[in-house]
Amino acid sequence: MKTLLLLRHAKSSWKDESLADHERPLNKRGKQDAPRVGEWLQSEGLQPDLILCSTAARARETIDLASEAADYHWEIEYREDLYAFEPGAFLHALKSLPDHYDQVMLVGHNPAMEELVTGLTGSYQSMSTAALAHVDLPIEHWSEISFGMRARLVNLWRPKDH
């Protein structure tokens, strides 16, 4: 069995309209919620073997603040192909992972995150900013991941619920 943690970036700022979407930073609420994700990961004992993160500033800042709060030093791979808004890019990245990774986190964007959770589990879940879905995958090899596989949503953490 493999474990997938899906983290939507924390709330980003629209204050500086001259910034390209890729460069938008977190806003005040995002900077408060991102460390809370790390605290929750720590309290749940979840330690990803690998983190695949979008190169967008808001995604990088989210995982940096979360990992600092969790006092974890994770292996993070920043990938331009994960600055995507459809789930196919995420599935493609996961399918190519070496099998020695058992617990992987993806940090990215909506609507791709919601569509990925729905496609894997068969159940729609709203992924607000800084939401984290913990999904157990009934596979031994990352190459087996696919939509409709009846993965199990173990938990969904949203900042507004805590």
pLDDT per residue as tens digits for the range 36-46: 999 999 999 99
**In the predicted model, what is the mean pLDDT of residues 19-45?**
94
The total of other beta-carbon atoms located within 10 Å of residue 9's CB is 28
Could you give all domains of the chain from N- to C-terminal order, each with its CATH number?
2-113+140-150 (3.40.50.1240)
Enumerate residues 6+ apart whose C-beta is below 8 A from 115.
86, 87
Confidence of residue 160 (pLDDT cuts 50, 70, 90): confident
The residue written with tokens 């995958």 in the block is 137
pLDDT tens per residue, range 44-77: 999 999 999 999 999 999 999 999 999 888 789 9
* Order of strands, sheet of 50-54, starting from the edge strand that comes earlier in the sequence: 76-79, 50-54, 103-108, 2-8, 132-137, 152-157
Whether the predicted pLDDT of 17 surpasses 90: no
CA distances from 78 to 46, 93, 106 (A): 20, 12, 10
